[in-house]
A and B are shown apart, each in its own frame.
Chain A
Amino acid sequence: MASSSERNPPPFPASEKPEPGLSDMADGDSDSDEGADIFVSNSLPTSVSRGVSQPEEPADLFGQETPTAKPNRVYSDDDDLFAEAQADLSSDTPGNSARKDLSTSSGLPSARSPAALQPTSLEQLEEEEAKDCFDVDVAVTNPEKVGDGMNAYVAYKVSTRTSLPIFKSKVFSARRRFSDFLGLYEKLSAKQSLHGCIIPPPPEKSVVGMTKVKVGMDDPSSVEFVEKRRAALERYLQRIVAHPLLLQDPDVRDFLEREDLPRAVNTQALSGAGFLKMINRASDAVSKMTIKMNESDTWFEDKFQEVDTEEQQLRKLLAVVDSLVSHRKELCVNTAVFAKSMAMLGNSEDNTALSRALSQLAEVEDKMEQLHQEQAGTDFFIFAELLADYIRLLGAVRGCFDQRVRAWQRWQEAQSTLQKKREAEAKLLWANKPDKLQQAKEEINEWEAKVTQYERDFDRIGMTVRREVLRFEKEKAKDFKSQIIKYLEAMLQSQQRLVKFWEAFLPEAKAIA
């Protein structure tokens, strides 16, 4: 569903530099000093200075891709690594030629223009085509704290790039706050015309998270929270515009285009826990229905069961992935502590060569800590968040099954009301009350029309649900595939850097005498 955009996984802001595009947005914006603080204050100075400068244009956001961002980081690391290695090593020849190659090629990334991205595989070509079909790209960036104290809130920049005629311009943006996103969802889910559609649910509200942010946005856990939310809001919008029906909805257009949006009220019910409670309450209501649905088509029953089971399994998986994230963070801490201890040991060591090797080992472990930190970031932002999104989406899928059942119920109730009206008419005929009879006949006509309407509604919803589920399954497979690939590629690059770190250390160890 969100496969239309290959977004760079937002790293844990504590140790990572932001996407070059984003930091530029921060630099360029006149009113986004706080935005700049959030990103710049947490980034490595070297990477920020290496950030490629571009004109401030929302289009650049969409041109930023993973391959361009990563190499910058890799080379800047290697530069530092080999600078030290060259200074320290006196006579190690085998590594020399390799080192030279890398230092010359390190000049390349800064010259490369990150905005141009050639599709490198068939997969990407197909995605480009798919993009062209819809040709809408949205991004959510620049979280900024507005106001002070408990009334403060965070405003995000929602940028759109499109060539579709339904929009007033090709490139535009608007500032929105979290409740605006919730409000959009509320409007969409209330629409009769969209019943049976799987409407992507917004991310969870969090009182704890937001309170911390209201107090101050500078500490790492607040930064992490804001980043998590920003990324989730972006995926939410991307899924909405990827849906053919939702894209055409005027409320969606308003959300993206309008300068000012009326404040959304009553979004309490839609906060994370509230959303799921709502779905579950509806499910309970359905299951408590006295008239059990006479399911002629087992497809719906089977599919519902599948969805339910999968949702539970994903929850289980998410719990394990959460455990992985926390263990990896633990590994970070332990590695950093070990590195310091090793540095101290190196200082104590009286054999010169061994002392230097131990100090180098301490530095390698420091670099490992950074790798683990980044890995924890991708574990969370790509893997865990993917699972969390789909747990919510599966809840939404369950929701439309329930909508279909309620449509059936309405039809059945109308039928029984019609029956009652007919019986009433019969009674009147027998009692011979001509004036009331006319009214009765009118009511019968009214209800006959309703029955026909509701039956049609029910059939229509059934078709919509079927269509939506099939579409959802296809999108899910695409989404999972692209996210898994992204996750694995990040892990891959991390391991490649690991190899380089240890390969640089090896001559140091061999030089011990």
Chain B
Amino acid sequence: MTSIDDSNKEKLRSVSVDLNNDTSLLIDIPDALCERDKVKFTVHTKTTLSTFQKPDFSVPRQHEDFIWLHDALVETEDYAGLIIPPAPPKPDFEGPREKMHKLGEGESTMTKEEYTKMKQELEAEYLAVFKKTVQVHEVFLQRLSSHPVLSKDRNFQIFLEYDQDLSVRRKNAKEMFGGFFKNMVKSADEVLISGIKEVDDFFEQEKTFLLDYFSKIKDSTAKAEKMTRSHKNIADDYIHISATLNSICAEDSTPNKKNLEKLSDLFERLRKVEGRVASDQELKLTELLRYYMRDIQAAKDLLYRRARALVDYENSNKALDKARLKGKDIAQAEDHQRQCLQKFDKLSESAKKELTSFKGRRVVAFRKNLIEMAELEIKHAKNNVSLLQGCVDLLKTN
């Protein structure tokens, strides 16, 4: 059973800011258990709302349950004008698992000490992936709970409260919706970019901005990942260097022995710092980019839905003209047209609000993370400086 304590969670909860401070509905994931491939999250709710049966309760949930909830929200027509928080990605332990496998294969080529250190590093990596996935699932729920409309969703309530296995409900949901909305979104880019006449400047700008920004941030996320991986490789190299120096020292009887001992010790400490540089960069930079990439996709989805509503409205106009020409079913067509217009206007209004607050949220999150990342880089580099200076002084005085 791996649990995350509060202080750690504070550090983790950085991607989305200022969530979970409305005491009427507080959600967190205090515990998570990793069983083979499946992660079981303990979703804990504390509420003063009367809509819930109890004020304080917990339920076990799997990743698929979160996906069900997300899809249910996306499919709900009433929420068409909202940015649905992006679904958390599937827990992916493939990276550390593969490395662990490779390590096991190469066990015979390294000393026991080296093997132990590499294993420790990998376990830390595994733990980091674990923490990340807990965080991202938690943030998803907290986004919902802090949203004025979504927090009241019935499915959300079921998710939080229903104390039995959700998998039955999940299957029903799939049959009900049949991925209706989702299939539409597939060709959404074309819908957006195609020559729909956009009457509102705000949305025209947003569309251009989001399309461009999305492709750039997707690129940045991928490049940041590669950079982090390089840092990890270097940290691993430091382990090997330290271990090999140790083996040399063990056999060395010459005056060089103490030089090598000090160097080996230094590399052991440096690798810890380098490892932390890598993981901090991952959390503050890569995760930030990754999260907002997904969030921007959600914002794009909103634009698609609005564009679709506009198409519906334009189609209803054409139908009304046709009806007037034919002189048949005019009232019906007028009704339909009015409904489409209403829907479109409501959607537009809601979308404008959502997109504006999204902007603000994004800027705040970037600010927080960039500051934290810079501070951590400084901290680690200063740490390195003192380690290096210490070793140099030690070498010079002997």
Contact = CB atoms under 8 A, between A and B. Distances in A.
Instruction: Give the one of B263, B266, B370, B392 with max A CB within 10 A.
Output: B370
Interface string A110-124: 000000000001010
Given A334-B223, A495-B384, A506-B374, A316 B253 contact: no
Interface stretch (B181-189, B214-222, B332-340): B214-222
Interface string A349-377: 11101100110010000000000000000
Interface stretch (A155-163, A250-258, A321-329, A408-416): A321-329
Contacts of A506: 371, 374-375, 378
Interface stretch (B95-103, B231-239, B313-321): B231-239
A220 B342 CA distance: 66
B226 A337 contact: yes
Given A123-B396, A317-B245, A509-B367, A480 B259 contact: yes
Given A320-B237, A334-B223, A341-B216, A309 B251 contact: yes
B336 to A, nearest CB: 37
Interface string A339-354: 0011011001111011
Contacts of A488: 266, 388, 391-392, 395
A324 B234 contact: yes
B388 A512 contact: no
Interface in B249-285: 251-256, 259-260, 263, 266
B113 to A, nearest CB: 14
Interface string B369-398: 011001101100110110011011001100
B363 interface: yes
Contacts of A427: none
Given A338-B220, A341-B219, A345-B217, A321 B254 contact: no
A348 B219 contact: no
A46 to B, nearest CB: 24
A506 B371 CA distance: 6
Contacts of A512: 363, 366-367, 370
Interface in A287-335: 306, 309-310, 313-314, 316-317, 320-321, 323-324, 327-328, 330-331, 334-335
A168 interface: no
A484 interface: yes
Looking at chain A's contact residues, the main secondary structure is helix
A298 to B, nearest CB: 14
A317 B244 contact: yes
A331 B216 contact: no
Given A485-B392, A495-B381, A499-B382, A317 B371 contact: no
A358 B263 CA distance: 38
B248 interface: yes
A50 interface: no
Given A348-B216, A492-B392, A512-B366, A310 B377 contact: no
A256 B241 CA distance: 38
Contacts of A334: 223, 226-227, 229-230
B248 A314 contact: yes
Given A473-B255, A480-B259, A488-B388, A498 B377 contact: yes
A309 B252 CA distance: 9
Contact of A321 (B209, B241, B370): B241
Contact of B256 (A330, A338, A477, A491): A477
B240 A480 contact: no
A491 B227 CA distance: 20
A150 B371 CA distance: 57
Interface in A39-69: none
A327 B228 CA distance: 12
A496 interface: yes
A480 B363 contact: no
B128 to A, nearest CB: 19
Interface string A406-447: 000000000000000000000000000000000000000000
A361 B366 CA distance: 12
B217 to A, nearest CB: 6
B370 A509 contact: yes
Nearest to B243: A320
A502 B363 contact: no
A243 B224 CA distance: 51
Contacts of B366: 354, 357-358, 512
B303 to A, nearest CB: 15
A477 B227 contact: no
A485 B254 CA distance: 19
A354 B363 contact: yes
Nearest to B235: A327
Nearest to B364: A512
A491 B386 CA distance: 11
A281 to B, nearest CB: 26
A225 interface: no
B299 to A, nearest CB: 13
A138 B10 CA distance: 60
Contacts of B237: 320, 323-324, 327
Given A344-B219, A484-B395, A506-B374, 20 more contacts: A310-B252, A324-B237, A327-B233, A327-B234, A331-B231, A334-B226, A334-B230, A341-B219, A348-B212, A348-B213, A350-B359, A354-B366, A358-B366, A477-B255, A481-B395, A499-B381, A502-B377, A509-B371, A509-B374, A510-B367
Nearest first, the 5 closest Cβ-Cβ pairs linking A and B are A331-B230, A477-B255, A512-B367, A509-B370, A338-B223
Interface of B: 209, 212-213, 216-217, 219-220, 223-224, 226-227, 229-231, 233-234, 237-238, 240-241, 244-245, 247-248, 251-256, 259-260, 263, 266, 359, 363, 366-367, 370-371, 374-375, 377-378, 381-382, 384-385, 388-389, 391-392, 395-396
19 contacts: A310-B251, A314-B248, A327-B233, A327-B237, A328-B234, A334-B227, A335-B227, A338-B227, A344-B219, A354-B367, A473-B255, A488-B388, A495-B388, A496-B381, A496-B385, A498-B377, A499-B378, A506-B374, A509-B367
Interface of A: 121, 123, 306, 309-310, 313-314, 316-317, 320-321, 323-324, 327-328, 330-331, 334-335, 337-338, 341-342, 344-345, 348-351, 353-354, 357-358, 361, 473-474, 476-477, 480-481, 484-485, 488-489, 491-492, 495-496, 498-499, 502-503, 505-506, 509-510, 512-513
